[in-house]
Structure formats: structure tokens, C-alpha cells
Amino acid sequence: MKEEQRGIDDSVVTKRKSCTVAFKSLRVVVLTAMFLIWIHQIYHGQKIAITLSRKERFQQCSVDNYLATGLPFLDTAERPPLEEYILRRNNLAKALLADGIDAFVVEPGYTFSYYANVTQPQWESWEPEERPFLMILRPSIAEDGTVVANTSFLVPHFEEDRARLLKMPFQEPISTITYEEHWNYYTTLWEAPMWKETLSPNLMVDEEIRDFIARGLASNGFNVVGLAGEVEAVRQVKTDREIGILRAVNTGTVEAIRSMRKCLYKGVTENEVVEVLDNTLRAAGFEPFFDIVEFGKSAALPHGGHDGTRELQPGELILIDVGAHLYGYSSDVTRTFYPPFFPNPPPSEHNTTEKTFVWNLVLEAQAASVKAMKADATAASVDIAARNIIEAAGYGKQFTHRLGHGIGIKAHESPYLNKGNHIDVLRPGMVFTSEPGVYVWNEFGVRHEDVLVVRGEGDAENISGGFAVGPWEP
């Protein structure tokens, strides 16, 4: 009996031991699994950091540098309010009266957006179509004797409601002249009562208007002339609010280049720099619209043309010409510089003598143009001031383009600073680029480009964040 009881007890003990072992084994398995999950999570986090590409780290570095500035340049920018558009249209009305023109005609595009805040894609997102939608602005005399704008819109009848929904910046509902699909658009406009007794109204058309519209107006009772005179000067002379936006977007663009430069590394491609710089600009709310990045001998072509796959090497100059939009206004700046991993002074195996000379020569030429960029100077004289410096140094043939151009809602606007433009005279409030350059074929290129506003007295003012200082300080 005792033996049987002992056998039972031994069996129970054995089972208990087995359960204990099993439990311990299960516990080990669970703890091991938990440990492995923990290790996996840690490793996974490390793996994400390890497998982040160099380009992604490059972009993170660039954006972080940019945001670390606090983006103070945005403080000068304010979206144009209703009053700004009224002022612009009234200035245009005064110019029309001064030029002896009955009306200014424009279709959706840059100029239309300047006066009524509607771009071509906003009106026709698919493509510019054959049905004219025209803004017709005429000068009128108000009760107090001031000259004000009287604006009407020629629009297809079935599109009239859509035109009103554009919410263009007018105090009152817009005035429309509508036509049916089978009517003659231009005769409809000519028969409108606003012309009163004028049999052949003088129309000035914008430079962006399509040829078939200009010809249609001219062959249906109107006398059509091209953009010129005081009318053209309205957009050329910027208001303080416009200058504030241009200052913000151009300074911000230069700061983006400077932030990105600190993160460059050997072997990065031109295309990768384009992508990172564009995304850096977006961090400030800008809309990039062009970006030219050239390394070394690629920069011998002022506006690029290569496939962007060139990899950055020590001793190569980098030329970046970039533009972005803010509230419809453009930046357009260029910097030429060495990457941060190329030491200053350069190692003896790198001969940078000519590059450094040309870099400083182009900066000297830019400085001469700034001194010449004064009210009442001709556009030609500003170009010539810079060109003389470069020609005296023996690089005249390598300065292959004009000095600069006006800038506003378009990156390239009139007047244009070239040595043959003796007609256009600079006025206070005009804003220009100054971008002299020297391009040594199959070797390198250097261009410095800043944006400047002509003042009533003294030198033009830099509104793009300050001039470049040296090849390592763009």
C-alpha cells in the first residue's frame, strides 16, 4: 500500500516538475519573444536611420537650416488687397489719358492678373481657347475731377456667371458685354454703347494678347496699337507693397541657397540639388518654377542644357540660378560658389587662380552696374558700366548676354538692360536684376545675380538678401 502511495506521490511530483519545467520553458519563450520584439523595434528604428538615403539626409539638413533662420524675410510680404488693384487700374487710366488711348485691352495672363488677379490657367485650365475673354479698361473722370478706371469684360454669354464667380478685386459687380457663339465677338464690342460717338476707338493691346484677337479687333472698327509709353510704365514702376513682396521672395530664395549649400557633399548630382533646393523653398511657402544647377564646366552654358547627372567634385564651382513665386511675384537670383567640403584656401593640387579672378571680376562688374542704376539713367548705360569692367579684363567675349531685366509678376519684364537700349530711362520704383557673367567654354562659368530697386536718390537698393561676399560666402 505504501509502495502504491509512494508511486502515486512520485507521479504527482514528476508531473509537477514537468509542469514547472514547461512553465519555465514557456516563460523563457515569452520573455525571449518579448526581447526579440524589443530588439526588433530598436533595430527597426536604427535601420530607418541607417537606410535613409544621402539625398534624404541632404534635404533634411537643408530644410532644417532654412527653418532655423526663422524666415524673417516673410515679414515684408503682404498679399495685395482690393485697394492695391484699384490703385493699379486708376494708374493705368491716367496713363491711357496721357498717351491719348481710349482703352487698354488684355486677356487672362500676367497683365490681367496684375490688374484683376486672374491668370490664364484660372480662367482656362485646359488650354487658351478661341473664345475671347477680354478686360477693357477705359479712363473716366470722376465727380471730383480725378481720373479713374472704368472696366468692362467681353465674355461669352454662357460664361458670364463663371466670370463673376472669379471674385475679381472690384468694389461693385463687374460690368459685362456678352456675345452668343454665332456672333462676331469684335463687332459686339465695337457696338457697345461705352464708345459713345467715337467711331474708331484707339485700343492699346497687351504684349501677351494673341495675334488673332489683335487682328480681329483691328479689322472690326478699332485702331489697334501695341504696348508702349506711359501705359507700359505702369507695371514697370512698383508700389511699396509690390517691392515688399519682391524683397521677401528674392531674399528668401538667396537664403534657401545659402542653407542648402551647407549640406552639399561630394558626388551629389545637379538634379538632386534641384530637387532639394525646390523643396527647401517650399518650406517657406514659395512655389519654385525654375531651377538651373550646374557644376564645373557645365556652367559654361549660362542657362544649362546638360542632363543634370554630373556629380559634384572638389574644386568645382557651382552655379545656381533659381526662381520662385510668392503672391504671384517672382524671384530670380544666381549664386556661384565652392561647396563647403572644398577647403579655403584650396589645396595645392587644385589650381583655382583663374576661377577666383573671374569670380571677383564679375562681382566688380555687378558693383559697377549698381552704381550706374540710378533714376534718369538709360537702360543701356547700366549694361555698359558692367560690360566695360569685364571687357577691360579681357573677358568681353565671354560675357554673352545682357546685364539684366525688369522683374515683377513675371521673372522677365521690360525694361531690359542691354547695351543697345538707349530709349528706356530708369524711374524710381523700377526693379531690375543685375546678372553679369563670364563663361569660359569647357572650363567653368560665373554669374552673380541680385534684384535691385531704383531709388530717387543714390544707388539702387539690393532687395535680395545682400550681395555675395566670396566664393565660399555666396
How confident is the model over 347-373, as pLDDT tens digits? Answer: 989 999 999 999 999 999 999 999 999
Q: Would you tell me the crossing angle of helices 229-236 and 82-99 to the nearest 10 degrees?
A: 160
Lateral strand order in the sheet of 413-417: 413-417, 404-406, 431-434, 450-453, 461-462
Strands annotated E in 198-317? 202-205, 223-225, 287-295
Q: Is 267 left (phi over 0), alpha (psi -120 to 50) or beta?
A: left
Portion of the chain with pLDDT greater than 70, in percent? 89
Mean pLDDT for all residues in the chain: 91
Flag whether pLDDT at 48 surpasses 60. Answer: no
**Residue found under cell 472704368:** 150
Cell of 238: 512698383
pLDDT tens-digit series, residues 53-69 = 899 999 999 999 999 99
Q: Report pLDDT for 26.
A: 40
Nearest to 227 by CA among 424, 19, 90: 424
- Give the per-residue pLDDT at 51: 72
Distance CA(76)–CA(154), nearest Å, equals: 36
Is residue 28 very low, low, confident or very high in pLDDT (cuts 50, 70, 90)?
very low
The position carrying cell 508531473 is 15
Q: How confident is the model at residue 292 (pLDDT cuts 50, 70, 90)?
A: very high
Angle, CA 38 vertex, CA 21 and CA 46 arms, to 5°: 150
Q: What is the pLDDT of residue 219?
A: 97
More confident residue, 10 or 438: 438
Dist. CA 299–CA 286, nearest whole Å: 26
Which residue in this structure is represented by grid cell 542691354? 418
Nearest to 383 by CA among 393, 368, 394, 361: 368
pLDDT tens track for 385-412: 999 999 999 999 999 999 999 999 999 9
Question: Across residues 325-334, what is the average pLDDT?
Answer: 98
- Between CA 161 and CA 153 the distance in angstroms is 12
User: Taking the CB of residue 68, how many other CB atoms lie within 10 A of it?
Assistant: 9
* pLDDT on residue 117: 96
- Taking the C-alpha atoms of residue 412 and residue 425, their distance in angstroms, rounded to an integer, is 17
**Cα–Cα distance between 314 and 342 in angstroms, integer?**
6
pLDDT at 380: 98
Quick one: average pLDDT of 426-442? 98
* pLDDT score for 39: 45
* Cα distances (angstroms) measured from residue 87 to each of 90, 157, 170: 5, 29, 11
Number of helical H runs and strand E runs in the chain:
13, 17
pLDDT at 17: 44
pLDDT > 50? residue 34: no
pLDDT tens digits along 223-245: 999 999 999 999 999 999 999 99
- For the ranges 51-60, 101-110, 151-160, 297-306, the lowest mean pLDDT is seen at 51-60
- As a whole number, mean pLDDT of residues 466-470 equals 97
Res. 50 pLDDT band, cuts 50 70 90? low
Share of the chain above pLDDT 90, in %: 87
**What pLDDT is recorded for position 127?**
87
Q: What is the pLDDT of residues 65-83, one digit of tens each?
A: 999 999 999 999 999 999 9
The domains found in the chain, sorted by start residue, are: 82-236 (3.40.350.10), 237-462 (3.90.230.10)
At residue 41 the predicted structure's pLDDT band, cuts being 50, 70 and 90, is low
